[in-house]
Amino acid sequence: MASTRQWHLASRPVGEPTRDAFELVTVERPEPEDGEVLIETHYQSVDPYMRGRMRDAESYAEPWDVGEPMKASVVGEVLESNYDGLEAGDIVTGDLLWAEHAVAHGDELRRVNPALAPVSTALGVLGMPGVTAYFGLLDVGEPKPGDTVVVSAAAGAVGSVVGQLAQIAGARVVGTAGSDEKVDWLTDDLGFDAAINYRETDDLGAALEETCPDGIDVYFDNVGGPITDAVWPRLNLRARVAVCGQIALYNETDVPTGPRKLATLIEKRARVEGLLVGDYEGRWGEALERLAGFIDSGELEYREEVVEGFENAPDAFLGLFEGENIGKQLVKVSD
Amino acid sequence: MASTRQWHLASRPVGEPTRDAFELVTVERPEPEDGEVLIETHYQSVDPYMRGRMRDAESYAEPWDVGEPMKASVVGEVLESNYDGLEAGDIVTGDLLWAEHAVAHGDELRRVNPALAPVSTALGVLGMPGVTAYFGLLDVGEPKPGDTVVVSAAAGAVGSVVGQLAQIAGARVVGTAGSDEKVDWLTDDLGFDAAINYRETDDLGAALEETCPDGIDVYFDNVGGPITDAVWPRLNLRARVAVCGQIALYNETDVPTGPRKLATLIEKRARVEGLLVGDYEGRWGEALERLAGFIDSGELEYREEVVEGFENAPDAFLGLFEGENIGKQLVKVSD
């Protein structure tokens, strides 16, 4: 029988995860049943939200089981199909496994057209991160021309799209990021009005005052923690905060107290709202069409960071928490 | 010349205010100019938001000046009028001073009809607290039949109206309050489904699990702090949080970190929004009409706590932070 490899969750990490949490397992390659297809993974996504799946806590999705394969969005090629409408050689994307091969029902896959854009974009700017940015900014953040939009983790897969969509909406855009290289990319290549390297800034509040002299109308929050602490007091009247991620806090083992600056929301009648891209399932087509249009017109640029080799997938994931990636972090599993 | 008395802000309190912060001053009674009326205060309101006005910090309203009279909503009688449409003997309400007498332009006063309800209600259930409850619950909280609504400081001027309006909207209602007497009032008299004496509860989370077995759809937050910490993790999908007050934190001198539980909002796609009754200026008529209707029909009950004597106004104010009042706290200044 043919075999394949999977990454399993070896143990639930406490605090910052390490490679011990992952185990590379060789298993029999699964066979597609009726309605299913067998997919060979070309690219696998690693995403910050996966940290939450490693916990044994109820959340918006089931926690991963210890000793079982972990889940991931992948883009890959159909090797065998028992599904009408997909055939061997088709490129598809879907929520599958950290695995070199996997089976899935054809209804749960989306076809990717390799002629339109590199297929890897189906995991980034034309996939979950891009769609998250699209609905999070436009539906929750509601930027208006002249608004000041601040986005944290601005050089990440979601943040970089948020900032460019905010510019398209006519807003001033300020990003926070963790290296000078990222800051340069944001301001020089993506045209952000300003970017702050939070690791090199003693006084985040002062840096925000300087870069946002008219206050902040929309905050797209990917990180939480001290950056969010510095942003909230500078929110304008009727500001909107889209809470998309809290990566600065995902590895904390204890969060002793909850919100302590809610009085700001009274003062500014601001709205803070959590968002999850899964809620927009029926509207992906709209987002993907517009994002593809902005790429075509040159208004939307993207970067991908590719770790080569399935065996290195855990490193790609762990690097997210070190802020190593610029743009979307991917694992290249096969050609 | 006739005289009157005013309470002035003697100094800006740090932490819990004490009587030292207040100075009783006798001044010349002011004379109404063209368009103005002279009012004798019958009842003066004391409200938690006043703590914020004592700080020298920019907020949604100007801070009070040290050595100047403090501001308050009052209901009183027109003694002299230079305003067309008001005459001596009329009962009016408005934002005036901690004072036995004050002048105001007639345009800034609202006439109160003593035949409809006791005039003191113009400072409570048929005044700012009632209108705050009305718009905060209905516009921000958006309760639906079958929802579970939790309101903190539920036995207060705002909270007690919130809970009853939530019942009228068909929701289950659970309140938190700081004494058994308050809990009994909420459950026995106002018909709350449950009430929690947070001072006598070791595990607020468990108490909420027990009283809200289906989770929490709307949280009307009057207090912040540990009660809010216990509520947030129990919010349901698409829950709404109306942030109206944070009385548990108003006397804190340092708020070291900001929100640390925003991941809850992602998980539940919950919305947290600050509210200020001043934003609904043009819609008071609608709220007052409906609130008066609910009082008439017996669906809305209210209580008032009256401290007698203008000289005791600071005690009435300080008592708010001890949780002494059930319902609206008033100072009776004259008959």
Q: What is the pLDDT of residues B123-136, one digit of tens each?
A: 999 999 999 999 99
Identify the CATH number of the domain in which residue B246 sits: 3.40.50.720
Instruction: Using an 8 Å CB-CB cutoff, list chain A residues near B258.
Output: 228-229, 232, 259-261
Least CA distance to A264: which residue of chain B? B274
User: Is the domain of A205 the same as that of A68?
Assistant: no
Q: Do B172 and B313 lie in a common domain? A: no
Least CA distance to B240: which residue of chain A?
A273
- Asked if the model's pLDDT at residue B287 lies above 80, the reply is yes
Q: Are residues A30 and A139 in the same domain?
A: no
**Contacting residues of A for B229, CB less than 8 Å apart:** 257-258
The token pair that represents B150 in the structure block: 């939790």
Residue B194 lies in a domain: yes
Residue A36 sits in the same domain as residue A167: no
Q: What is the mean pLDDT of residues A191-215?
A: 97
CATH code of B41's domain: 3.90.180.10
Are B120 and B132 found together in one domain? no
- Within 8 A of B255 by CB-CB distance, chain A residues are 260-261
Strands (E), B110-193: 110-111, 148-151, 172-177
Mean pLDDT of all residues in chain B?
94
Please indicate whether, in this complex, the C-beta atoms of B266 and A60 are within 8 angstroms of each other.
Answer: yes
Between A82 and B63, residue with greater pLDDT: A82
User: Residue A293 falls within a domain, yes or no?
Assistant: no
Q: Are residues A61 and A103 in the same domain?
A: yes
| Residue A218 scores a pLDDT above 90 | yes
Same domain (yes/no): B272, B321: no
DSSP state letter for B187? I
Average pLDDT over residues A277-293: 94
Please tell me the predicted confidence (pLDDT) of residue B62.
80
From the candidates B209, B223, B234, B243, which should be mutated to test the interface with A, based on the most A CB atoms within 10 A?
Answer: B243
Which residues in B lie closer than 8 A to residue A221 (C-beta atoms)?
262
3-state secondary structure of B88: coil
- Can you give the pLDDT at residue B66? 96
Q: What's the average model confidence in pLDDT over B48-57?
A: 89
CB spacing of A257 vs B257 below 8 angstroms: yes
Considering only residues A246 and B314, tell me which one the structure prediction assigns the higher pLDDT: B314
B176 in the same domain as B82: no
Half-sphere exposure of B59 (CA within 13 A, CB side): 19
Give the helix/strand (H/E) hosting B264: helix B263-268
Q: Which of B245, B250, B260 sits opposite A258 (nearest CB)?
A: B260
Q: Do B112 and B210 fall within a single domain?
A: no
Give the residue from B278, B293, B317 where a domain finishes: B278
What's the first-to-final CA gap in chain A, in angstroms? 22
- Res A23: pLDDT: 98
Q: Give the mean pLDDT of B170-197.
A: 97
Q: Could you say which DSSP state residue A238 is in?
A: E
Query: Which of the two residues, B202 and B251, has the higher pLDDT score?
Result: B202
String of b and e for B37-68 (b: at least 16 CB within 10 Å)?
A: bbbbbbbbbbbbbbbbbbeeeeebeeebeeee
Contact B124, B304 (CB under 8 A): yes
Q: Is residue B233 part of a domain?
A: yes
Confidence band for B57, pLDDT divided at 50, 70 and 90: confident
Contact between B245 and A266 using a beta-carbon 8 Å cutoff: yes
Residue A187 has pLDDT above 70, yes or no: yes
Instruction: Quote the mean pLDDT of chain A.
Output: 94
Min Cα separation B308/chain A (Å): 32
One domain for residues B261 and B319: no
Q: Calculate the alpha carbon distances from B250 to A252, B106, B317 in Å.
A: 28, 33, 13
pLDDT beyond 80 at B259: no
- Is-contact B14 B37, C-beta < 8 A? no
Question: Distance from A210 to chain B by nearest Cα, in Å?
Answer: 19
Q: What residues form DSSP beta bridges with B102?
A: B39
Whether B59 shows a pLDDT value over 70: the answer reads: no
Query: Domain for residue B319, yes or no?
Result: yes
Residues B132 and B235 in one domain: yes
How far is Cα B321 from Cα B326, in angstroms, rounded to an integer? 12
Task: Name the pLDDT band for B252 (thresholds 50, 70, 90).
Answer: confident
pLDDT by residue (tens digit) across A45-78? 999 999 989 988 766 678 999 999 999 999 999 9
Same domain for B142 and B212, yes or no, is: yes
* ipTM entry: 0.84
For B276, nearest residue in chain A (alpha carbons): A266
- Do B261 and A271 make contact, defined as CB atoms within 8 angstroms? no
Choosing from A278, A295, A313, the residue where a domain stops is: A278
**DSSP label at residue A335:** -
Of the three residues B245, B263, B278, the one that is the final residue of a domain is B278
In a domain, A292, yes or no: no
- The confidence score (pLDDT) of residue A131 equals 97
Nearest Cα residue to A190 out of A168, A215, A212: A168
How far is Cα A70 from Cα A61, in angstroms, rounded to an integer?
Answer: 13
pLDDT value of position A290: 96
Please tell me the least confidently modeled range out of A118-132, A272-286, B177-191: A272-286
Best mutation target among B266, B269, B281 (most A Cβ atoms within 10 Å) is B266
Q: Residue count of chain B, please give it.
A: 335
Nearest to A273 by CA among B139, B136, B270: B270
Question: Residue B284 falls within a domain, yes or no?
Answer: no
Q: Round to whole Å and give the CA distance between B280 and B285.
A: 10
Instruction: Domain count for chain B, please give it.
Output: 2
- Looking at residue B244, its amino acid is C
Query: Residues A236-281: pLDDT tens digits?
Result: 999 999 999 988 888 877 765 667 788 889 989 999 999 999 999 8
**What does the pLDDT read at residue B58?**
63
Residue B256: pLDDT band (50, 70, 90) is low
Whether the per-residue pLDDT at B264 is higher than 90: the answer is no
Q: Does residue B296 lie within any of the structural domains? A: no
- Does the pLDDT of residue A1 top 70, yes or no? yes
Give the mean pLDDT of B50-61: 81
The β-bridge partners of A95 are A73
CA–CA separation, B262 and A59 (whole Å):
13
Tell whether B146 is covered by a domain.
yes
Domain of residue A236 covers: 128-278
pLDDT > 90: what percent of chain B?
85
- In this prediction, residue B92 carries a pLDDT of 98
Nearest to A269 among B256, B267, B276 (CB): B276
* 8-state DSSP, A207: H
Query: By the 8 A CB rule, do B332 and B308 touch?
Result: yes
Taking 70 as the threshold, does the pLDDT of residue B314 lie above it? yes
Higher confidence at residue B259 or residue A242? A242
